[in-house]
A and B are shown apart, each in its own frame.
Chain A
């Protein structure tokens, strides 16, 4: 197993109760075990505040579990130095708002930080990698633009390019299509599929878009109230019963022949 969570529990400090999803006893995740295979494309589904973002942060090593272990390639993430981990695992947050007006190229080159450290300046190789990442995300024409002046979809793709510049084995994305219109959503989905196919990048994405998950992900992890409800192949896990358990919503799940994947049509709140 490539990325593994073993009986991981996590809670923000009980006194502060900052986490909306904190269940009883101040835990936002309880006893979560899951496995992500190398080269897979996994979707994390669940209602707001169920712990999806926390799971991603645990996988990225940004948060440390209270109990349990997160393993990357068989090693405990806690034992892997930050920069080394960042050469393998990259994260695309839901939204990124820099405090200063960096250029697109500068934003992407920041992805080279784990390879360069605090003092080495980027050289021709790094520029080539950044260009490659820009091209892969279709943002090469924006390189000289200011990041702040871009549209939401362009920004998201630039941040993905920046994560690609890390040359990661694992890409973790938090609702990558949330702020995008339909065309961009399809474009990002195609990009992710291509990254997995062409570069063998393992991808985990948290999303509310069930149809995106159905079209893109081979495996799904369903999370509710800090616990894993189910995990497995998309075709097995994604059914109306699970959706009812996950969201308290009645939905039709059907195979759509023209698109070639399952589609979900919500009907109404479950009684």
Chain B
């Protein structure tokens, strides 16, 4: 056994120790997310007076400024933060799990399953509700869970660890299969329904109150609790499964946990706001370009940056064409894409 050497050798261009980096990054990105969440409710298609919104002397029922602030904007901002954080983190986890920087939360067919559920609910016009969650989110959650179970069952054989190669193939195949079913449902639906299904696919954060957010929050919290156990294992896993195993990582358990937690976060986010694209790939890469690849930094930073990014995109979506809105999924792609390319070019 070798003991720690007493002669500490100076290392050229040594990056800051992890504790410092983690603190600075979390403070920085946390401040950004907080700022986004504080500024976003102040801006919208209608000018409001913040002092009037917080004026307790006016009854709430008569205070339109307060209602716009608390009933219309706050739930939206909160939904944006939750969905942005969930999709960005799920992207980070899946990219490491699949050892593929191009993986997104939508690669494994989970969002396609969610979309199929939503399409069926829209075209069936079902009006069931479970507490604060109405039929469309409920059905998309069911679709997402079904897809997760299918992909997981395909990638797992009794007595053998999950194969990430099969996971990827099964996910991509299931994605295409569900997409075909979605097209079929759309084709069979009448015009108005078909249009609504298309609109659902563009994503929407105007979730109709705090209820739906509270409804999916437990799922997101469970997913994040699982995410918190992953980062150092993900570092090793993304270097190689065998090397991870010889550094003490329980590879099978980590892979299972990574897949299920990412699936849970994706299901919840898509059920709440539809499949808002680009966040799950652009945010992790932007964060990596800024902080380096260490998942202990990248995962929490992506969650915070994802929240800030989506809240910002939704701010643009609801103001740029006011009083008409732009689907937020279009904004995330239009802002995220060029910004990402610019960063890539600059770095190169």
Show the binding face of A for B, using Cβ within 8 Å: 13, 57, 60-62, 82-87, 89-91, 93, 96-103, 105-107, 109-111, 113-114, 116-119, 121-125, 127-129, 131-132, 134-135, 140-144, 164, 166-167, 169, 199-201
Q: How far is the CA of A127 from the CA of B5 in the complex (A)?
A: 10
Q: B231-258 CB contact bits vs A (8 Å, 1 = yes)?
A: 1110110111011011111100000000
Q: In chain B between 98 and 114, which residues have their CB closer than 8 angstroms to a CB of chain A?
A: 99-101
CB contact under 8 A between A110 and B235, given known A102-B293, A105-B11, A131-B11: yes
Contact across chains for B236 and A113 when beta carbons are under 8 A apart = yes
Contact across chains for B17 and A127 when beta carbons are under 8 A apart = yes
Contact across chains for A98 and B240 when beta carbons are under 8 A apart = yes
B45 within 8 A of A: no
Q: How far is the CA of A86 from the CA of B233 in the complex (A)?
A: 14
Contact across chains for A107 and B239 when beta carbons are under 8 A apart = yes
Shortest CB distance B299–A (Å): 12
Residue from the set B4, B13, B240, B248 with the largest chain A CB neighbour count within 10 Å: B248
Contact across chains for A62 and B242 when beta carbons are under 8 A apart = yes
Shortest CB distance A156–B (Å): 13
B190 within 8 A of A: no
Contact across chains for A128 and B4 when beta carbons are under 8 A apart = yes
Shortest CB distance A113–B (Å): 5
Having A135-B9, A199-B2, one finds 20 other A-B pairs with CB under 8 Å, namely: A13-B160, A60-B246, A82-B248, A89-B246, A90-B247, A99-B96, A99-B99, A99-B101, A101-B293, A110-B236, A113-B249, A117-B232, A122-B18, A123-B17, A124-B17, A127-B8, A134-B9, A143-B14, A167-B2, A200-B1
Contact across chains for A125 and B243 when beta carbons are under 8 A apart = no
Residue pairs across A and B with Cβ atoms less than 8 A apart, 20 shown, are A60-B245, A60-B246, A62-B245, A89-B246, A99-B238, A100-B96, A101-B292, A106-B293, A106-B294, A114-B247, A117-B248, A118-B229, A119-B229, A123-B17, A129-B4, A131-B5, A132-B4, A135-B9, A140-B12, A167-B1
* In the complex, residue of chain A having the shortest beta-carbon distance to the beta carbon of B95: A99
* Chain A residues within an 8 Å CB radius of B10: 131, 140
* Chain B residues within an 8 Å CB radius of A62: 242, 245-246
Residue from the set B5, B11, B19, B101 with the largest chain A CB neighbour count within 10 Å: B11
Shortest CB distance B4–A (Å): 5
Shortest CB distance B263–A (Å): 20
Contact across chains for B239 and A110 when beta carbons are under 8 A apart = yes
Q: In chain B between 255 and 307, which residues have their CB closer than 8 angstroms to a CB of chain A?
A: 288, 292-294, 296
Shortest CB distance B9–A (Å): 4
* Chain A residues within an 8 Å CB radius of B233: 118
Contact across chains for A111 and B12 when beta carbons are under 8 A apart = no
Contact across chains for B239 and A96 when beta carbons are under 8 A apart = yes
The prevalent SS among residues of B at the interface is: loop
* Chain B residues within an 8 Å CB radius of A107: 239
Contact across chains for B11 and A140 when beta carbons are under 8 A apart = yes
Contact across chains for B96 and A105 when beta carbons are under 8 A apart = no
Shortest CB distance B113–A (Å): 26
Contact across chains for B246 and A90 when beta carbons are under 8 A apart = yes
Contact across chains for A102 and B4 when beta carbons are under 8 A apart = no
Shortest CB distance B204–A (Å): 33
Contact across chains for B238 and A98 when beta carbons are under 8 A apart = yes
* Chain A residues within an 8 Å CB radius of B338: none
Contact across chains for B246 and A102 when beta carbons are under 8 A apart = no
Q: How far is the CA of A164 from the CA of B247 in the complex (A)?
A: 11
Contact across chains for A86 and B9 when beta carbons are under 8 A apart = no
* Chain A residues within an 8 Å CB radius of B59: none
Q: B1-29 CB contact bits vs A (8 Å, 1 = yes)?
A: 11011011111111101110010000000
Q: How far is the CA of A107 from the CA of B244 in the complex (A)?
A: 12
Q: How far is the CA of A83 from the CA of B236 in the complex (A)?
A: 13
Contact across chains for B292 and A106 when beta carbons are under 8 A apart = yes
Q: How far is the CA of A89 from the CA of B235 in the complex (A)?
A: 19
Q: How far is the CA of A90 from the CA of B236 in the complex (A)?
A: 14
Shortest CB distance A39–B (Å): 12
Q: B74-116 CB contact bits vs A (8 Å, 1 = yes)?
A: 0000000000000000000001100111000000000000000
Q: How far is the CA of A84 from the CA of B250 in the complex (A)?
A: 12
Contact across chains for A143 and B2 when beta carbons are under 8 A apart = no
* In the complex, residue of chain B having the shortest beta-carbon distance to the beta carbon of A97: B240
Q: Which 5 A-B pairs have the closest CB atoms?
A: A144-B13, A86-B248, A83-B248, A114-B248, A100-B293
Contact across chains for A131 and B9 when beta carbons are under 8 A apart = yes
Q: How far is the CA of A261 from the CA of B232 in the complex (A)?
A: 44
Q: How far is the CA of A122 from the CA of B11 in the complex (A)?
A: 16
Q: How far is the CA of A135 from the CA of B9 in the complex (A)?
A: 7
Q: Residue A113 contacts which of B1, B96, B248 (CB distance < 8 angstroms)?
A: B248
Contact across chains for B232 and A113 when beta carbons are under 8 A apart = yes
Shortest CB distance A30–B (Å): 22
Residue from the set B230, B235, B293 with the largest chain A CB neighbour count within 10 Å: B293
Contact across chains for A143 and B243 when beta carbons are under 8 A apart = no
Contact across chains for A116 and B292 when beta carbons are under 8 A apart = no
* In the complex, residue of chain B having the shortest beta-carbon distance to the beta carbon of A199: B2
Contact across chains for A144 and B14 when beta carbons are under 8 A apart = yes
